[in-house]
Structure 1
Amino acid sequence: MSHATTDRDPIPAVPDDGAQPLLGFGEVRTCLIQNLAGLSPSASVALMQLTPGSPVSKVDRPTRRVVSPEQVTGVDCRLHVAREGRGRAIGTVLSHAVVTNGRILQGTAHAALASATAKERREWRHYLRQPGVVEVLGSPKPHNVMDGYLTDASPARGLDLASISDRIIDEVQQSDRLDHTTALRTGTAVVRWAATLAQEAKPTVGIAKSDIPNFHVIRLNGSPEDLPMLIRFCEEFALHEWLLTTVQDVIVPRAEADIARDRDPLDSLLFALNELAPLWMPPTHLSPDMKALWEAMESRTHYSRLFERQVARIRDLRDQVKIRPPRRF
């Protein structure tokens, strides 16, 4: 039986020996749930009960958001370090799934990186005592570790958070609670992020250029205490980026092509207006820091203005379909 609690931030990662994390890494994947109808609140909670007996986080306003319990994955791998230096990553990664409004599914994996205080690998019980913390053996420079992670190829040559976020997406999509049919053919968007963590640092955000379709890179700064907020911000950014990309690059072009070929795109247009447009709810209500991050991002990207234009275009196409004369055979 599922257990719902109030909304909460991801578990903060604190190294067991008191060492402060230097970096935060994460990856978020966003897609439509493979279910023809939107999930009810109770069905969303049941779907997110990935760990029996562990609580599911749930909030109803301003949008309905249900978060699964954190899952722990052990890692022991070489780091992909840019330019110079070598490092080994040992510890645990946290991952969870998010369902928004019974329609959108996200899989997110994240970890805090801290310098190892021992020169040799410890027993696993040491790493299991600090979930979400990955210790770095060796002495690579933090900015080289960050650059190596953000530019790592697929499959990853270093810390592979992509596979972990993929796995939790697959676990949800394969559930027998779903009918495995989607209301709209869309892709999966990926956001890879890395944060530099330093005491008393103010949260900042920057979006790096990526030449890979549906792949976005974010660089952040903040204090170690800001890490749960930064994780949440990246999930919100990933959700809004997926909404904009789906409307701009999928729904509008397909509808325009269908109209040109005298096909009826009304179902997809109404899906966008009724199911997707209401989800555009920037996270400025969550905290002053979240509001500052979003406004800094908006000042460079104008995402909300772009989304509003695409929604207006969808309304125009809907009206065009409704008033056009019937086809003569």
Structure 2
Amino acid sequence: MAPRQSTPGADLVCGEVRTCLLPARQALDIRSAAQLLALRADERVLLSERPGLYARSPDTLTGVDCPLPSATGARVRAVGTVAARAALTEGRLLQTSARFRVPASGPDQRRPWGEYLVRPGVVEPLGKLPHEAVARGVLDGGRHGDLDVGLIADGLLTRLLRHPLLDQRPPFRSRPTRLRWVALPAAPGDGPSLERFTLAEDELRTVRLRVPEGTDGAELAVLCDDLALHDWLLTTVVRMFDGIRLGQGAAEDAGAVVRTLRPAVDHLLHLWMPAARVAGGLAPLWDPLEERPGFTRQWQALVQRIRDQFTLHAIPSAHREVEPVP
């Protein structure tokens, strides 16, 4: 057998994230979080208490041999492994994600499985990679039978949600979200950039990035987990205001407002920490989202609205409603 050539530079990195409220009445402490995320016996769960409680599972690998998604319909067969993992923030928000890296080109024939297993998270094409077509195909969702990292992330989430530690009694109702992302190579000499962040239908978000060659795929996954988490927070708190009748004045209306918004105060407001765990070289990718649409500005406005409502309804009604004197 001819000696194997060195792996070509990564041309494309792709992934998908699931974010949801942990279905448990009480947030898990750090030890319980480690128990929940112990996906492998041979590797420990990463635990951190600064700047907040955070736990991340080791990677698990799924072998794949199937076509890559392609916006042009080209059938590019790829073989390798997809890396998946889970994370729990403050014992309350659960995320699962799956990712893979695709080199710019691969061999014309399939290699033995052992050669793929020594490169976890790498999916190698047979021949050259049409990177733009595959990037658009991944973001569009691909066709039946194509490589679908969302299914892998969803399968891991389903497995964790059945864990006996969870009593299936979340403190409030919410919806999960999906964030699908691709990172294409930046031009030589350029730094990382966020080209597009899109809110699609059915709780789907898509992100298109440009990153310098050699950017670590695991660090990109942390960045996209962070984007997904903060988008979920914004989406969930915005929905809490849906249907609330503000300014009605009746005692029963005031009680309903407080009951609806109280979970945000108890469980969510302290979680807003953009880029807290993102690698320094990738942290600037948050800047476009802070400029437009303005993630933190919107969050601060929502927080202020919640505080104003609690303050208003804490004032006795006799002091709020003053009748004019004839």
Q: TM-score, normalised by structure 2?
A: 0.87
Indicate the structure (1 or 2) with the bigger Cα radius of gyration: 2
Deviates more, 1:105-114 or 1:275-284: 275-284
Are the structure 2 counterparts of residues 66 and 190 from structure 1 closer, same or farther at C-alpha, using a change threshold of 3 Å? same
Q: Quote the Cα distance in structure 2 between the aligned partners of 1:131 and 1:287.
A: 21
Percent of pairs with identical residues: 31
Offset at 1:114? 1.4
Alignment of 1:77-116 (within 5 A): 77-83=66-72, 85-116=74-105
- The equivalent of 1:57 in structure 2 is 46
**Distance across 2 between alignment mates of 1:191 and 1:221:** 17
Counterpart amino acid of 2:75?
R
Q: Kindly indicate whether residue 182 of structure 2 is the aligned counterpart of residue 194 of structure 1.
A: yes
Structure 1 unaligned residues grouped into runs of 5+: 1-14
2:271 matched to 1:279? yes
Tell me: CA distance 1:48–1:197, structure 2 relative to 1, closer, same or farther (3 Å). Answer: same
Distance between the aligned counterparts of 2:277 and 2:56, measured in 1?
18
For the residue of structure 1 that corresponds to 2:256, the secondary structure is coil
- Could you tell me which of 215, 236, 241 is aligned with 2:226? 236
Looking at structure 1, the residues matched to 178 and 311 of structure 2 have their Cα atoms a distance apart, in angstroms, of 33
Output the CA distance in 1 between the equivalents of 2:189 and 2:221: 18
Paired with 1:92 and 1:157, the residues of 2 have a C-alpha distance of: 16
Q: Is the contact between residue 68 and residue 76 of structure 2 (CA under 8 Å) also seen in structure 1?
A: yes
Partner of 1:301: 293
* CA–CA distance in structure 2, aligned partners of residues 34 and 16 of structure 1: 48
Partner of 1:35: 24
Following the alignment from structure 1 to structure 2, what is the Cα–Cα distance between the partners of residues 91 and 167? Answer: 18
1:243-258 equivalence runs, <5 A: 243-249=233-239, 251-256=240-245
* C-alpha contact (below 8 Å) 2:44/2:58 kept by paired residues: yes
1:158 maps to what in 2? Answer: 146
Secondary structure in structure 1 of the residue aligned to 2:302? helix
Counterpart Cα distance in 2 of 1:16 and 1:315: 61
| SS of equivalent residue, structure 1 residue 164 | helix
C-alpha distance 216-237 of structure 1, shift in aligned 2 (>3 A) = same
1:316 aligns with 2:308: yes
Let me know the Cα RMSD of the aligned residues.
2.5
Mapped pair 1:290 → 2:282: yes
Q: Deviations over 1:117-152 (max 9, x none)?
A: 321112211211111000112434211110111112
Q: Which amino acid aligns with 1:231?
A: A
Unaligned 5+ residue runs, structure 2? 319-326
Q: State the TM-score, normalizing by the size of structure 1.
A: 0.86
CA distance in 2 between partners of 1:67 and 1:177 (Å): 17
Deviation at 1:257, TM superposition (A): 7.6
